[in-house]
Amino acid sequence: DLDYLDVYKTAPDYLNIFVIVMENSNLHSPEYLEVALPQFCKAMTKLPVTALARLSRLWSTYGLPHIRRMMETFQQLITYTVVSNEYNAQNLINDDETVVAATQCLKVVFYANILGGDADVEHNDEDEDDSESDELSLHELLGEERLYKKGPRIDPLERALGVRTIDSIRPLIPFEDFVNESVNDVVEMDKDFTFF
């Protein structure tokens, strides 16, 4: 449904479906892991960035146990999918729609984790002003073309939330818990990183 029309713009209450589904504490069970949760993740990734930002802000108010359960649900889906499939140089993990969608959902929870913890976002406006400086860089003074006009790519969700990963002083859940070892084991760095 979200592929063909922007439901969220016409009915913002549509977001409630995602909130209600994530209240289900049994999403990690095998009945959900095979079909329902992957489809849910794919639908969630079709939401516009503003909707994902609203979800992240809302979930950041839920507290540690709820955010941890959501993180573990998406991590379990990723692990289950990785263990159930065989990845190699021809079948990359980046090509698996379920892993990609679950990872994107995990990113929303990741930012909720940052927002729910202690973060220093006071300086973000100053940093944006500095990047728009009219001063020439050393490369420009030497007549060389800059490879990166504005520095590293900024995640649209990060921009919508007004918070960056480096702003986090103390997240609710340590960042290490968001690392999925099963993905690390099958990632083909020479290909997956290039296509990312």
What is the tens place of the pLDDT at every residue in 74-125?
999 999 999 999 888 788 888 899 999 999 999 999 999 999 999 887 765 5
Q: How does pLDDT run across 121-168, given as a tens digit for each residue?
A: 776 554 554 444 455 555 555 655 555 555 667 889 999 999 988 888
Identify the CA nearest to 87 among candidates 74, 76, 100, 75. Answer: 100
pLDDT of 7 reads 67
Residue 2 lies in a domain: no
Q: Is 65 a member of any domain?
A: yes
Question: Which has more confidence, 151 or 16?
Answer: 16
Burial of 20 (0-12, 13-18, 19+ CB in 10 A): exposed
Query: Residue 16: pLDDT above 60?
Result: yes
Query: Is residue 40 in some structural domain?
Result: yes
pLDDT, position 150 = 58
- Whether the pLDDT of residue 196 is over 80: the answer is no
Number of domains present in the structure of the chain: 1
User: In 10 A of CB 47, how many CB atoms?
Assistant: 21
Measure the N-to-C terminal CA separation of the chain; round to a whole number of Å.
Answer: 27
Residue 29, pLDDT above cutoff 70: yes
Q: Is residue 145 part of a domain?
A: yes
**pLDDT band per the 50, 70, 90 thresholds, residue 189:** confident
| Residue 129 belongs to some domain of the structure | yes
DSSP 8-state assignment for residue 93: G
Q: Residue 133 is part of which domain span?
A: 7-195
Whole-prediction pTM value? 0.81
- 55, part of any domain: yes
Give which of 46, 42, 44 is closest to 59, Cα–Cα: 44
1 domain residue, yes or no: no
The answer to whether residue 131 is domain-embedded is yes
